[in-house]
Structure 1
Amino acid sequence: MAHSKETIEKIRKARTGQRHSDETRRKIGEGNRGKSVSEATRAAIAKARNGVRDSDETKARKSEAATARWAAVRAARNG
């Protein structure tokens, strides 16, 4: 039997803000590894994001993350 709309709302409110554990996140990642996104899905995502721009704050965070990621890659290559 399916949950009622009221019960679904109670469950949603109770779970709001909860995060997956590191173990669960690892398992989800392993389950998704190797999967590819269909062209139809890619097109739908592109259409949904068309015209969306990152804020300056988001651009700065992305830049910082990419810089750190490449620094780690360079460090691993150089031993």
Structure 2
Amino acid sequence: MNYPNGKPYSKNKSLDGRNPSPFSSNIEYGGRGMSLEKDIEHSNAYYLKSGIAVIHKKPTPVQIVNVHYPNEARL
């Protein structure tokens, strides 16, 4: 199969038949987005210091719901 520009399609051989990495089970997801959060905080501090803008972080509203199941539904 060829691309419209005439070049042949070549499959990415680095992903072909790869084994799962032994490090994949050690991935921690708890700090995702923290570097972006710090960058935003630094930008907001700069804006405030320069008199450009005052930006306040607005918390995400969370509603906690209690669900009570009858004892018969438990297995």
Decide: shared fold, TM above 0.5: no
Structure whose CA Rg is larger: 2
Greater fraction of residues in helix: 1
TM-score by length of 2: 0.28
Higher relative contact order (CA 8 A, sep 6+): 2
